[in-house]
Each structure stands twice: as C-alpha cells, then as structure tokens.
C-alpha cells in the first residue's frame, strides 16, 4: 500500500464490508501531507452510461476543462467500451 502515496490514480476493489474505505483513508491520512487532496469515486451497480456521467461530473469538480473534454468525446457504448 505504500506505493499509493505516489499514485495519481488507484482502483481498490473488494466486496462490500471488507474495510477498503477505512483502510485506505487511515493509511493516506497517516502518510500524506495535510494539504494533499484525495478524491473518492464509488462505483455503483448502475447502467454504464449513468456511471460514466457520475464520473465525469466528479472529474469536472476537480478540473472543469477535463470534464468538458470527456463529455465531448462522448459516452462509451457497445462499440467503444473495449477501447
């Protein structure tokens, strides 16, 4: 987990109730400088389009230009989902 301090993005995956959020939050709070920004996005069991729209909105809160560019690219669909 120590490499998380240097990662720009990380995906943590395990079933509900395994303590992912608590473990990562406690780890980062103990090891990152106070002014470090950490952003959480919780994936949900939803239609892919809805999930990507939520992700784009979260990205837009951090960088409105990046969020806008992602929306211009368009949402993934059956033809582009594997790209």
Q: Residue 19, Cβ neighbours under 10 Å: how many? A: 9
Q: What is the pLDDT of residues 28-80, one digit of tens each?
A: 889 888 888 888 888 888 887 888 889 888 898 889 898 888 888 887 777 76
CB under 8 Å to 23, separation ≥6 — which residues?
1
Alpha-carbon distance values, 49 to 11, 54, 56, 59, 81 (Å): 19, 9, 10, 15, 11
| pLDDT for position 49 | 82
| pLDDT for position 22 | 93
The domain locations on the chain are 1-38, 48-83
CB under 8 Å to 14, separation ≥6 — which residues?
20
Residues in the chain, total: 83
Model-wide pTM > 0.85: no
Alpha-carbon distance values, 75 to 36, 41, 49, 52 (Å): 30, 18, 6, 7
């Amino acid at each position: 987990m120590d490499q998380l301090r240097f990662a720009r993005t990380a995906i943590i995956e395990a079933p509900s109730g395994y303590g992912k959020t608590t473990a990562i939050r406690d780890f980062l709070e103990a090891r990152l400088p106070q002014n470090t920004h950490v952003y959480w996005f919780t994936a949900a069991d939803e239609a892919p389009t809805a999930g990507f729209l939520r992700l784009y909105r979260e990205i837009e809160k951090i960088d409105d230009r990046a969020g806008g560019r992602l929306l211009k690219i368009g949402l993934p669909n059956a033809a582009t989902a594997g790209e």
